[in-house]
Every structure is written in C-alpha cells, then in structure tokens.
Structure 1
Amino acid sequence: MERTIGVDLAVDPRATATSEICWSRDGAEVKPPRLRCKDEDLLDLLSGLVSGERAGVDCPFGWPTAFVEAVAAHAGHQQWPGSTGRADHYARLRLRMTDRVADATIRPLTGRGPLSVSMDKLGATAARWAYLADQLAAGGHPVDRSGAGHVVEVYPAGARAVWGLAGTRSAQALLQAAPWLRFEPGVQQAYERNEHAFDALIAALVARAVALGLTSLPRNEQEERAAAVEGWIHLPGPDGLARLDPSAA
C-alpha cells in the first residue's frame, strides 16, 4: 500500500484542505478530506512521508529570480535592473521559468496561464509555503523545490485542463474519467461540496503521476537551474490520468 497526499494551500487555514489516496493493486481508495488545516496540521502530515510516498502542494515554491534580484537591488539603493528592454524584463519579473513553460500547454486549453506569484495575491500564499518549507527543513525534512524529493509543486487547474476536466470541480466527472477510484459512502459527496478539498484530491493524483514519472521535468540545464531556485510545476500529460489506473500497472 502506497500513499499520496494533496494539499490545496491558501493563506487562510479555513480555505486550506488536504486529501489522501491509498494505492494498491486493487484500486485507489480516496480518504475523507481534511479541511481548515493549520500550519501544524500540514507540518505533521508532510514530515510523516516515508519512502515511496509523495505529496503535491498547490502553491508556487519560489519567486521569479528576476523579481528577487530587482527587489534586492531596490532595497540596496542600486540601479533597477532592466532599465533597458523593460517589456522583456517585466515579463521575467511576473513569471517564473516553470510558469512560462506551463503557459504554453495550459493557455491553448483554457485561454489563461498560471498566475503571477510576484504580482498577484498568490504571493501571500507562497509566503505561507516559504514558512512551512523552512519549518520542514529545520525538522530534518528539506524540500527540493524542483520536486526531486517527497514534496512537489503541482497546479490542479492545469492538471484538470490537460485531463479534459477544465471548468469543473465535479467528483462525479472525475470518477467517470477514473472509474478505478474508490470512495467510501459519503466521501465523494464531501469532495463535491468543497472546492478546496477537490483541488487537494487532484493534487494527490498528480503526486501519484510524479511517483510514476508521468509529469513534465526541466528539459535543459537552464530550466534545471531555475527549478532549483524558483520551483517547478509538475504537470501531467493528457493520458496521465488513465495511466494511473492501478490495474493497468
């Protein structure tokens, strides 16, 4: 029996949820969601991962390098970077390398790409994650921002798009696409009722895709360097959901 965890992270614990899936050859059992998760709940959950387990967290693991460098220059009363080529520099301030890579896949499907962690309210959620990651590292569980360890960055809206589930957070629609998922009585309804729980469930499925090597990875040295600092979105392929079927393995 193997386990994957999904975390839909928000600034407010009341909007933070987790999901757990237990995988075996007989199927994938979805456990009831945990709602209103506080920092200590998440730290306990993520620090308890063992060999073979993965957790997918819906939150950027870092900020664009160009943004960090620009803010540091401004704080030190140094010349603002990008004084020439302002439009290109502004684009690099807004989006990380992984955001730009994911945008090429997601935008044709949904008409929109990843949000900016540096110039949108998403940055507040990233600040909560930065605290959690620091606490995990202090407890002997450092997070590899590229996703090479137990904990990976995921993007549930993007995963739903490539899986043909864009525009819906329906557990019933998910079950039709993945009939091998098992819900105990009342559990499916719990995911239907709460959008944060549903996104956590998608995050847990993507975490399984990561464990099976079915998500996008940095393609070159430049992307690898960026991923180590800025984080990396692990996006599954269009057939990735079907390939999670335990009976197919």
Structure 2
Amino acid sequence: MSFAGIDLASDPKRTGVAVIREEHAGERLVVHHALLGADDDHIVKLVEESQKAGVDVPFGWPRPFVEHIASHAAGSVEVPKTTGPDWRRSMALRRTDMFVHSRLGLTPLSVSTDRIAYPAMRWSALEARLRASGLDCSRNGTGRVCEVYPAAALKSWHLIHRRYKKTANATARDELVGQVEERWPSLEWNGFRALAVQSDDVLDAIIAALVARESSQGRTIRPSREQQADAMVEGWIHLPNVD
C-alpha cells in the first residue's frame, strides 16, 4: 500500500510531494518518492496511484463567506445585525479551523483572507480534475484524499511543530527528522532524508503522507454528525487521534 503527501503551493516549483509505501504488513515503511517541484499532472498521478493522499491545503471556503460573496455578487445581501468580531470570524474561519484551534491552540491560515487562498484555488481545479476521473474527493476526507495541517499533526504527536521552516531553520528540521525516526523506527528514508532536511515543503509532504496513512486506518479525528454538513463543503483537517 502507498500513501501520498502533497504540500500544495500555488506555484508548482514550490510544491513538495512524497510517497510512503507500507510493506510487510506495516512492519516496514519506505519513503518511495519525494520531490520538490510537482505540476498538476504529477499530483493527479500520485493521488490516482495511492490508497490515500494527504493534502496540505484548505479544501473549501467558510460557508458563511461563500454565501455572503454570492449574495453580494447578486446584490441581495441581507444586512447583518453587526459586523463585529464574531461576524468577521465566521467569514474568515471554517468550522474545522475553529476545531483545530479549540483542540490544539493553533489557528490555520484563513482561506478567505490570507494568501493560502492561492493554493486553495489550485486545489479546487485539481479536485475537479480528480472527480472527473472518477475518484471520490469528498471534502470530509472519507474518500481518496484528506486535508491535513502538518503543524497540527506534529503538535498532536508532541513533535517540533514551530520554527522548522525556511533556510535558517535547517537545524530544527534535522532535529524534527530525528524525532520522526524515533516515532516511526521502521521508516526507511531510501536516500531522501537529506532532501527532507533541506526542504520544509518536502518534509511537510512526508508528514502529510503519514497523516494519510493514519486516516486510512481510522486513526484520525473525523467530523461529528453536527460538523458533517460543513465538512462536506468546507473541508475537514484530519488530526491524528492520539487518544
């Protein structure tokens, strides 16, 4: 079985991808593939050939934001009682973002107000392409793909989750890679360890692949019945269920 991880950027040159293969009934994990610089064709192929793919990108936008923008475009916005903090928060954050914050104290980037919207737009096109090929891309993560947030996954596992990105933090990445090796002693880097230390995009893709494996085996937190409707539209970040 193989699990793909995709650290999606708007620019293919900055998109990291990885594939982890599970061998010998899970007793051995091998980084089969890792690359910085993946175009749409490469990503589609990885998802098609994997049992599950973890994608580091918002799968959708907040429902209140989408409804407001659609009403605004039609000139039919209902006047809100207030445009205070709670209203703005509902425009900026999805239900899954709020859940991650309540559980871990981390706030994912807002797909409606931050630059993360650019890779999210790219994903929307990739999702359409994958759906057209017959793959189940349910945004709640029950299909071939699940949304991941590497920093939140790392914090759930009690690993380094901050200040490991960018060139200046290569030492922290090396330490994080060491922590990954301790948590998954059966993981074999297959020559890709240096690339994971060199590129935080590739390292995030490897983390995303590990989360995809957890998701496929039922070891991530799924949306509750109350959260399900929003998750199907907005997306749902799969957190490792360490409980």
Task: Give your verdict on TM over 0.5.
Answer: yes
Structure 2 counterpart of 1:209: 214
Q: What does 1:58-69 correspond to in 2, within 5 Å?
A: 58-69=56-67
- State the alpha-carbon separation in 2 of the partners of residues 179 and 218 from structure 1: 30
C-alpha RMSD of matched pairs (Å): 1.5
Structure 2 counterpart of 1:42: 43
Note if 1:140 corresponds to 2:144. Answer: no
Question: What's the secondary structure of 1:31's corresponding residue?
Answer: strand
8 A contact 1:74–1:80 mirrored in 2: no
8 A contact 1:70–1:81 mirrored in 2: no
* Structure 1 residue identity aligned to 2:209: A
Q: What does 1:51-130 correspond to in 2, within 5 Å?
A: 53-80=51-78, 82-84=80-82, 86-107=84-105, 112-130=106-124
The change in CA–CA distance for 1:233 and 1:81 in structure 2 (over 3 A counts) is farther
Q: Which of 178, 187, 193 is equivalent to 2:184?
A: 178
Unmatched tracts of structure 2, length 5 or more: 165-172
- State the alpha-carbon separation in 2 of the partners of residues 213 and 182 from structure 1: 23
Percent of aligned pairs with the same amino acid: 37
Structure 2 counterpart of 1:245: none
- State the alpha-carbon separation in 1 of the partners of residues 19 and 196 from structure 2: 12
Shift of the alpha carbon at 1:220?
2.5
Q: Which of 153, 156, 161 is equivalent to 2:150?
A: 156
The change in CA–CA distance for 1:76 and 1:149 in structure 2 (over 3 A counts) is same
Question: What's the secondary structure of 2:5's corresponding residue?
Answer: strand
Shift of the alpha carbon at 1:85?
5.9
- State the alpha-carbon separation in 1 of the partners of residues 12 and 79 from structure 2: 36
- State the alpha-carbon separation in 2 of the partners of residues 12 and 41 from structure 1: 13
- State the alpha-carbon separation in 2 of the partners of residues 220 and 81 from structure 1: 30
- State the alpha-carbon separation in 1 of the partners of residues 30 and 21 from structure 2: 5
- State the alpha-carbon separation in 2 of the partners of residues 160 and 98 from structure 1: 17
Q: What does 1:12-23 correspond to in 2, within 5 Å?
A: 12-23=11-22
Deviations 1:199-241 (A, max 9, x none): 00000000011011111111223x00001111111001336xx
8 A contact 2:10–2:119 mirrored in 1: yes
Note if 1:225 corresponds to 2:229. Answer: yes
- State the alpha-carbon separation in 1 of the partners of residues 179 and 79 from structure 2: 47
8 A contact 2:20–2:33 mirrored in 1: no
Deviations 1:145-202 (A, max 9, x none): 1111111111111101111122243322211222121122x32112111110000000
- State the alpha-carbon separation in 2 of the partners of residues 44 and 212 from structure 1: 22
Shift of the alpha carbon at 1:80?
4.7
Unmatched tracts of structure 1, length 5 or more: 240-249
8 A contact 1:95–1:116 mirrored in 2: yes
- State the alpha-carbon separation in 2 of the partners of residues 142 and 116 from structure 1: 25
Q: What is the number of equivalent residue pairs in this alignment?
A: 229
8 A contact 1:73–1:81 mirrored in 2: no
TM-score of the two chains, using structure 2 as the length reference: 0.89
- State the alpha-carbon separation in 2 of the partners of residues 154 and 237 from structure 1: 13
